[in-house]
Amino acid sequence: MITGLRGRDLIADLDFSKEEVETVLDVAFDLKRKRALGEPHPYLRDKVLAMLFFFSSTRTRGSFEAGMAQLGGHAAFIESRTTQISHGDTEKELGEIFGRYFDGIAIRHVDWGIGNRYLNLVAGASRVPVLNMQCDYYHPFQILADLMTIIEKKGRDLRRKKMVVSWAYAASYLKPISVPQSLILQMPRFGLDVVLAHPPEFKLMPEIMEQAQEQARKFGTGFEVVDDMEAAFKDADVVYAKSWGPLLTTTDPEEGKHIQDKYKDWITDERKMALAKEDAIYMHPLPADRNIEVTDGVIDSAQSVVYDEAENRLHVQKAVMALTMR
């Protein structure tokens, strides 16, 4: 177990080494056990977390608030539009002042080209840890929960297991690219052979792709990119299919929607899941566009682990907070 995470930020997935992520998972499993047995674990008694949201949330807000309460502390919900942040408070001012009021600052800011920069500027001015509840580049806590869930279902030895990270069609807004980017960065470090599948217009950031390839080389795992959803699903152990916007092709919502609508057949349905291994699991961070992005028959099936993923957000977030905010 790697100690010494106190005071550390978690903004990008690679901010923590593989060994440090393993420590987070060890603590998360222990906290999940304590929660199941009703054992008190107030490791952050009298600590307060600022939760600053520029983007709406269900699971993220709920799991951070519940997690801080279970750790004996308090989470303060702050909506950017109802504060002076929308009228002139700078990132430096926020980092300096909130760093004196609170014991940790968690931020969700997914605006393309703005969010990640904002988090890093706040972190540069803050004396307390800054935690990324999702930005335009990364969603580290979701991916820690995903990794915990995969280990629960497939065991700790994930080498030679095939994980598909696939784009899927959605009729709603153009979603951030942070989930697939974080997945391809983190999962190769734990032995998974990753196949990334998406139509040509839905590429991820070149620097993230280079980092993912570097992690795959470093840890001796596979990393492949294809533009065929069905080919990607073949013999998969883990299927993670969700929508994201064509943000590297266009940032215009109307043009992006037109591009997105060309690929309505990129839906996770029973026929495609049948191409994966019989014991393959289906994953999604939620919310999903039902019967557009994924059929009810898949997301409600025995192969679906979406609710376990959602629960594990609570446990991994508590682990990181306990390790960084004490």
Lowest mean pLDDT: which of 3-7, 223-227, 229-233? 3-7
Burial class (CB in 10 A: 0-12, 13-18, 19+), 155: exposed
pLDDT of res. 145: 98
C-alpha 157/C-alpha 151 separation (Å) is: 8
13-139+311-324 CATH choice from 3.40.50.1370, 3.40.50.620, 3.30.70.330, 3.40.50.10310? 3.40.50.1370
Where exactly are the structural domains of the chain?
Answer: 13-139+311-324, 142-309
**Predicted pLDDT of residue 118:** 98
Residue 2 confidence (pLDDT)? 86
- Predicted pLDDT of residue 54: 96
> Residue 61 above 90 pLDDT?
yes
**CATH topology of 13-139+311-324 equal to that of 142-309?**
yes
pLDDT at 41 over 90: yes
d(CA 180, CA 13): 12
**pLDDT value, residue 16:** 98
The pTM assigned to this predicted structure is: 0.97
Q: What is the pLDDT of residue 37?
A: 98
**Mean pLDDT across the chain:** 97
More confident residue, 219 or 2: 219
Residue 319 CB: number of other CB atoms within 10 A?
A: 26
Residue 88 pLDDT greater than 90, yes or no: no
Residue 85 has pLDDT above 90, yes or no: no
Pick the CATH number of 142-309 from 3.40.50.1370, 3.40.50.300, 3.40.50.450, 1.20.1050.10: 3.40.50.1370
The reported pLDDT for the residue numbered 91 is 97
pLDDT at 83 exceeding the cut of 90: no
Residue 227 pLDDT class (50, 70, 90 cuts): very high
The model's pLDDT over 164-214, given as tens digits with 9 standing for 90+, comes to 999 999 988 899 999 999 999 999 999 999 999 999 999 999 999 999 999
CA distance 104 to 71: 14
Cα distance between residue 46 and residue 35, in whole Å: 20
Q: Is a pLDDT exceeding 90 seen at residue 82?
A: no
Task: Lowest mean pLDDT of 49-53, 169-173, 241-245, 283-287, name the range.
Answer: 169-173
Q: Is the pLDDT of residue 87 over 90?
A: no
Averaged pLDDT for residues 253-268: 96
Q: With cut-offs at 50, 70 and 90, classify the pLDDT of residue 279.
A: very high
pLDDT number for residue 283: 98
Helices vs. strands in the chain: H and E counts, helices first: 12, 9
Residue 183 CA to residue 166 CA, distance in Å, equals: 11
